[in-house]
Structure 1
Amino acid sequence: MDEQTQKYRHEIKFYINKRQAAELRLFLTKNMRLDTNTDETGSYWIRSLYFDTVENKDYYEKTIGCNIRKKIRLRIYDISTKIVKLELKNKFDSYVLKETVTISKEDACKLIKGDCNFLINCNHKTANKIFGFMHRDIYRPKVIIDYEREAYVYEIQNIRVTLDKNLRTSWNCRDLFKKDLCMVPLINEDIYVLEIKYDHIIPVFLRRILSNFIMQKSQISKYCLGREMLSL
């Protein structure tokens, strides 16, 4: 498994409405490149299974506003996939560092059942780090979130802009790979989550278009929204 040099990046989030999303989409398609994962619909599907401790430590650290916090999740982009991303998302104020290791579907199922011992043998820094958290603090699956994502990139300054829609959640954590999983809408279907990730500054051309919209930065957490929707 390859190790890659990673660094913290800025991440800001906004709620926007369907009209704003349509206007922003027109601008983004002219000035940025669509992510290579995009399908013929102009988006791609994501499903994540989040873990937390028995005491819900990560959830409460987010809700009380701790500057340093983390999330551990499994992520897939296709129900029939044989490989799964295991991610550790570190947050320091407005900075984010996502560490990822790829595991098999079989190993993902082990994690869902509470067995994280295989991570010791992965020979991967991120796997070892996640094992330490999960073994020491007794992490268990808590909630599934899925949604559709439109993603645009601007390679020159390593900018990534995403529009997430049709957010849904489920408490059936053992059914990550189930196609017809029973899901509950997480927010109004006319609301999108806009996320902007960048290294240093947002380029002028993007700041100008964003200034045309009335919107406010929000501390949006899909994980926390899902837990609250399902009453923890």
Structure 2
Amino acid sequence: MAEKKFRHELKHYINMSDYMAIKNRLTQIMRLDKNANQNNEYKIRSLYFDNLNDKALMEKINGINRREKFRIRFYNDDYSFIKLEKKSKINGLCGKDSAKITKEQCEKIIEGDIEFLKHSNTPLFVELYAKMKGDLLKTKTIVDYTREAYIYPTGNVRITFDKDIRTGIHSKSIFDANVPTISSIDNTFVVLEVKYDEFLPEIIQHIIQTNDRRATAISKYAASRIYG
């Protein structure tokens, strides 16, 4: 089995002026993500898991050094390609395990019918089953946002702008396009994420300079739990 690769991940809240300035610079040297639509964006919808004690939420708030969270995610309302993901953070570095999952399997999980996970040949399914049984992990809340993403091959750099971040509050109906959502982060701000492997090229460091703004411990999941 290949060793999991952990990456650096920096996050900043930036205003619209910062966004336009950074975007104008980075488009000169970075290529747009191939999944972008005609507006250079794509939509992301995730359904996050947590337990009865809100373990994932509290570990994020308290800055626990080793933590993880599970989610189901798809893009542009396309149910033909859905992923189950486990995102891990260890010593400030981020890693991700993922496996393809069907719409029908997701619906079973949401309904609490999870025995199929135990008998799966997919390790991530079996791990989720163990966590749902042992830690009482359950689906918790929907998080929606629009992403604009750019790629720079040297250093395997990925820069994203996440906008219009919304929460479904307590709803689990991820396949309902009309599920009510409300803003979880002030829409005058954009979340800038910078991900890279061993090093961040100096040219990228200059591009993302935002005056006195510093990297912030941002979690779209935590922000979306503000309403419960």
| Aligned residue number for residue 158 of structure 1 | 156
Alpha carbons 2:18, 2:210 under 8 Å: kept: no
SS of the residue corresponding to residue 166 of structure 2 reads strand
1:5 Cα offset (Å): 5.3
1:12·1:94 contact (CA, 8 Å) conserved in 2? no
CA-to-partner distance for each residue in 1:54-84, whole Å, 9 max, x for gaps?
Answer: 1111111111111001111110113351332
- Is 1:183 matched up with 2:173? no
Structure 2 distance, partners of 1:29, 1:114, is 45
Partner of residue 45, structure 2: 47
CA RMSD, aligned part only?
1.6
Q: Distance in 2 between matches of 1:169 and 1:4?
A: 35
Instruction: Give, in whole Å, the separation in 2 of the partners of 1:211 and 1:42.
Output: 22
Higher helix share: 1
Provide the rounded CA distance (Å) in 2 between the counterparts of 1:102 and 1:12: 27
Alignment correspondent of 2:212? 214
> Paired residue for 2:203?
205
Q: 1:79 to 1:210 in 2, by over 3 A?
A: closer
Given the superposition, is the C-alpha separation of residues 163 and 4 from structure 1 closer, same or farther in structure 2, using an over 3 Å criterion?
farther
CA distance in 2, matches of 1:51, 1:159: 28
Change (3 A) 1:4 1:112: farther
Q: Is the 8 A contact 2:47 2:172 kept in 1?
A: no
Deviations 1:77-119 (A, max 9, x none): 1335133211100011320001101110000011111232222
Tell me, what secondary structure is at the counterpart of 2:133? Answer: helix
TM-score (normalised: structure 2)? 0.94
Preserved CA contact (<8 Å) 1:49 1:173: no
Counterpart-to-counterpart distance in 2, 1:172 and 1:54 = 13
- Give me the TM-score of the superposition, normalised by structure 1: 0.93
Unpaired segments ≥5 residues, structure 1: none
Q: What CA distance in whole angstroms lies between the structure 1 residues aligned with 2:2 and 2:125?
A: 13
The Cα of 1:212 is off from its aligned counterpart by 4.9
1:31 counterpart SS class: coil
Q: What percent identity do the matched residue pairs reach?
A: 36
How many Å apart are 1:36 and its aligned residue? 1.0
1:122-141 matches, cutoff 5 A: 122-141=120-139
1:187 is displaced (CA, Å) by: 1.4
Gaps of 5+ in 2: none
The one-letter amino acid of 1:46's match is I
